Amino acid sequence: MPTSLPFHLVGVSHHTADVGVREQLAPTSEQIADWLDRERRAERSLVVLATCNRLELYWWGDDDQEAGLQALARSQGLLLDGRTVYRRDGLPAVRHLFLVAAGLDSQVLGEYEILGQMRRAHERARAAGTTTWELDDAFAAALAVGRQARHETTLGRHPGSLGSAAVAQAAICCGGSLTGRNVLVVGAGEVADGVLRALEAHACGSVMVLNRTPERAEALVSSRGAEAAGWDSLPESLAQADVVVAATKAPHPILEAPLLAEILESRNRRPLLVFDLALPRNVDPAARDVPGVRLFDLDDLRLEHGPAGSGISPATEEAEAIIRDAVGRFRRGLRIREAAPHLAELHQFGERLAEEETGRALAALESLSEAERDVVRQMAERIVRRLLYPASQKIRESL
């Protein structure tokens, strides 16, 4: 698509693909590193934003990264069509990036984790050498928009997250309250931290955090009033839990259906609520068929707590206004930066012209003293400045 602004994105998200497709597309950290290295060697720009809700590629220039997304899909046996893949070019791509940063394109309205994910994606690309100054400016502006939207609207008053959505749904399933319920959190990353934040408003019986790296679990619970346990205590912790939230970066399920069936037998089939907030999924989808297990994955939470049914609110309208202003400022900033070399050339031309005309005048006025010659030089320089600087300012204001 032709555009005067060569900023582009192509992606797949929770809007266009279910969790099964997103799971197959989810690249590992090593795959992203290899991908960025290939693009650097080919002298192409790229930022890869990979979260549980989206895989989006952003780039600046005339290259086309959509082929890379399709190649990844084919390697997983997927054929992505126009209903699954979306693309934005030019200012619509900038607007989409800002919407994502503000949490208006998230599964949970106002989601705050996306800001950290965007920042890390940009830093990774920059460290790999696959950004341009325009991409750097776009992501810096997006992060600023995200912070502004949360600070200046009610989006930031009660920041949303996958963790808070899971906790809210768990409370609903438990009759409106988690009082006295035992909660097991498997994982110790950003999503797990969001779960613990949301649980602070509930008088749970106990909150236990398990992680394969015990030090990370200990660090997470130190300020959250929870407990940490070793990975080998998983079966025992599952047997005692009423609610389980799984949010690890494991590339395969860590809670298999047979394990959960065995656990349910040991507790006389006392019901177990399980929330899978990971991509790839941490919980075997077959667990839905285990009697006593009620499983919610990312798609289930989107249906229950996604922003689609919430309509337009004052907060979203205010955030949209912030984004419109920011898109305009970003475009104007690019134009000013693009015009800067030409304006510098104009001023240099004016300085040369003043110097040449001063030389001609002084050659014809040989009787002038040195002080008088300085007056002529200064007069010529002032005339050039008074002509060019207002003109430059008008040009900048018109961009």
Q: What is the 3-state secondary structure (H, E, C) of the chain?
A: CCCCCCEEEEEEECCCCCHHHHHHHCCCHHHHHHHHHHHHHCCCCCEEEECCCEEEEEEECCCCCHHHHHHHHHHCCCCCCCCCCEEEECHHHHHHHHHHHHCCCCCCCCCCHHHHHHHHHHHHHHHHCCCCHHHHHHHHHHHHHHHHHHHHCHHHCCCCCHHHHHHHHHHHHCCCCCCCCEEEEECCCHHHHHHHHHHCCCCCCEEEEECCCHHHHHHHHCCCCCEEECHHHHHHHHHHCCEEEECCCCCCCCECHHHHHHHHHHCCCCCEEEEECCCCCCECHHHHHCCCEEEECHHHHHHHHCHHHHCCCHHHHHHHHHHHHHHHHHHHHHHHHHHHHHHHHHHHHHHHHHHHHHHHHHHHCCCCCHHHHHHHHHHHHHHHHHHHHHHHHHHHHHC
Catalytic residues: 52
- Which amino acid, 59? W
Question: Rounded distance, CA 374 to CA 362, Å?
Answer: 10
Q: What are the φ/ψ torsions at residue 81 (nearest 5 degrees)? A: -110, -175
Tokens found for residue 359 = 């030389």
Question: Rounded distance, CA 57 to CA 269, Å?
Answer: 45
